[in-house]
């Protein structure tokens, strides 16, 4: 998303940063004492997952970390803090002794490398968990296919589009929904031929110079729209009707989590609620992305957020950013391209609404964002970038500077030779 008018004054941003982070320091690519190498981060996250499964979410625990190898190239304070933060996000509570459970983490070394051993004591019960630390240097580089970005334009119109969605009712019938600033439009297609068009007005409590909206489709006959501080529910019974009401809590569903929107502005407050009702707080952002554990094996406590100051920051289970990325736009989304198993993110360019835009694929590795393949150029600014339910493609709203038309596109990644 290319919106230079979104940049807030530096003084205001300073106030936001101070109020959120209190005494935190700025992040950079340089490793600070509290940061961990990539392989150790992965081991800590894997160990936290095992500890949380062993303890359950209602326990208070004490924690001690020691290195019996005396050669581990890692900061023990960083191990402890990362582990505490990750367990806290899983609902566990750290307390000094005495506690419900005592967790002793030991770093040891054997012939195959380092490993982390967690010894859990609860009363007379004892449990031992072991997680090896991968040796990245020992892994030979593997040739990978070069991914390419593909874009398919599926709709064009002169009226602005905020979001769109396609859903099949059966093998023959398909519904298309388009969210516009003042109405929700539905099209029905039977074997590819349009048989019905319905448009219902929607209400808004707030206006914005840069209005944003999102569709959430439950099935072919039920759709929800989130825009301007309200939630609108559309349904066929038998005709298409839409009912709007204030969006209590201003929660926008984003897959397995929800984001809290600022109804009078075009960004999100920074509060993210997970499926287990736990919340995490980040700086206010325009968009955010986290890896899918199913496709990458990474812990979902990692997250990149596109902030109001034009910077994208990476968080790795801590309130302090691990690093920041420059040159990105304000729309980012994770994608499971199938080209490798690393965490991949699509990002828009960093221009404004008077310029052409682009989409670039990145891999997030060792707190760095590595561009993969060539960017895709678009004939105008990207206005919205939302994930499709399959995780492998994305919905893109853009406006062509040549024709002035708003374009709804599906973007996906192909793996070349």
What are the residue ranges spanned by the domains of the chain? 33-138, 143-415
> What is the mean pLDDT of the segment spanning 169-176?
93
pTM of the predicted model, to two decimals?
0.70
Give, for 309, the enclosing helix (H) or strand (E).
none
Please report the DSSP string for 20-66 in residue order.
HHTT-----SSPPTT---HHHHHHHHHHHHHHHHHH-TT-EEEEEEE
The maximal CA–CA distance of the chain, rounded, in angstroms, is 74
pLDDT-derived band at 298, boundaries 50, 70, 90: low
| Alpha carbons 251 and 347: distance in angstroms, whole number | 23
pLDDT-derived band at 5, boundaries 50, 70, 90: very low
Exposed, middle or buried, 151 (CB in 10 Å: 0-12/13-18/19+)? Answer: middle
C-beta separation of 163 from 213 below 8 A: yes
| Alpha carbons 254 and 152: distance in angstroms, whole number | 23
Give, for 248, the enclosing helix (H) or strand (E).
none
In the chain, % helix, strand, coil (3-state, to 5) comes to: 15, 45, 40
Q: Identify which has the larger pLDDT, 185 or 147.
A: 185
**CATH for 143-415 (1.10.150, 2.130.10, 1.10.8, 1.10.3470):** 2.130.10
| Closest by CA position to 60, among listed 89, 98, 106 | 98
> What is the mean pLDDT of the segment spanning 304-333?
91
Half-sphere exposure of 51 (CA within 13 A, CB side): 36
φ, ψ (nearest 5 deg) of residue 45: -65, -40
Report CA torsion sign: 244, 217, 340, 131: positive
Domain 33-138 of CATH type 3.30.2300.10 = yes
C-beta separation of 185 from 177 below 8 A: yes
Exposed, middle or buried, 417 (CB in 10 Å: 0-12/13-18/19+)? Answer: exposed
pLDDT digits (tens, 9 = 90+) for 347-381: 999 888 889 999 999 999 878 899 998 999 999 99
Cis peptide before 98 (omega within 30 of 0): yes
What is the DSSP secondary structure assignment for residue 203, as one 8-state letter?
-
φ, ψ (nearest 5 deg) of residue 261: -90, 155
Does the structure show a pLDDT above 60 at 53?
yes
| Alpha carbons 345 and 361: distance in angstroms, whole number | 6
| Alpha carbons 263 and 226: distance in angstroms, whole number | 10
**What pLDDT sits at residue 194?**
93
Most confident of 43-57, 79-93, 180-194: 180-194
* Other beta carbons less than 10 A from residue 404's beta carbon: 9
Does the structure show a pLDDT above 70 at 13?
no
Give the contacts of 263 (CB within 8 A, at least 6 positions apart).
205, 206, 228, 229, 247, 250
């Amino acid at each position: 998303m290319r919106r230079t008018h979104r940049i807030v004054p530096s003084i205001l941003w300073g106030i936001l940063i101070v109020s959120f982070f209190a005494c935190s320091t700025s992040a950079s690519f340089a490793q600070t004492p509290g940061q961990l190498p990539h392989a150790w981060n992965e081991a800590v996250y894997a160990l936290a997952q095992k500890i949380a499964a062993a303890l359950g979410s209602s326990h208070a625990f004490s924690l001690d970390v020691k290195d019996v190898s005396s050669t581990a190239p890692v900061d023990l304070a960083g191990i402890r803090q990362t582990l505490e933060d990750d367990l806290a996000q899983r609902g566990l509570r750290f307390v000094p002794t005495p506690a419900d459970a005592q967790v002793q983490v030991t770093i040891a070394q054997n012939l195959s490398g380092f490993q982390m051993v967690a010894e859990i004591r609860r009363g007379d019960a004892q449990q031992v968990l072991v997680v090896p630390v991968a040796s990245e240097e020992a892994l030979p580089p593997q040739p990978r296919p070069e991914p390419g970005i593909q874009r398919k334009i599926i709709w064009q119109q002169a009226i602005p589009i905020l979001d769109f969605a396609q859903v099949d009712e059966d093998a023959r019938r398909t519904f298309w929904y388009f969210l516009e600033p003042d109405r929700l439009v539905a099209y029905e297609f039977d074997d590819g031929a349009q048989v019905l068009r319905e448009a219902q007005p929607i209400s808004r409590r707030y206006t914005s110079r840069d209005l944003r909206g999102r569709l959430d489709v439950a099935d072919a006959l039920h759709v929800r729209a989130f825009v301007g501080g309200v939630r609108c529910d559309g349904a066929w019974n038998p005709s298409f009707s839409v009912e709007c009401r204030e969006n209590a809590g201003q929660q926008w569903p984003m897959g397995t989590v929800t984001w809290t929107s600022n109804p009078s502005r075009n960004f999100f407050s920074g509060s993210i609620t997970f499926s287990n009702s736990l919340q995490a707080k980040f700086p206010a952002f325009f968009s955010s992305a986290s890896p899918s554990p199913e496709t990458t094996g990474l812990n979902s406590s990692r997250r990149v957020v596109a902030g109001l100051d034009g910077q994208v920051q990476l968080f790795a289970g801590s309130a302090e950013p691990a690093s920041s990325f420059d040159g990105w736009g304000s729309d980012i989304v994770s994608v499971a391209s199938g080209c490798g198993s690393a965490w991949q993110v699509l990002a828009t360019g960093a221009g404004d609404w008077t310029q052409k835009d682009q989409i670039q694929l990145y891999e997030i590795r060792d707190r760095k964002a590595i561009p993969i393949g060539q960017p895709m150029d678009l004939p105008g600014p990207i206005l919205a970038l939302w994930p499709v339910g399959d995780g492998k493609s994305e919905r893109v709203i853009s406006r062509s500077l040549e024709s002035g038309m708003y374009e709804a596109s599906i973007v996906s990644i192909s793996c070349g030779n």
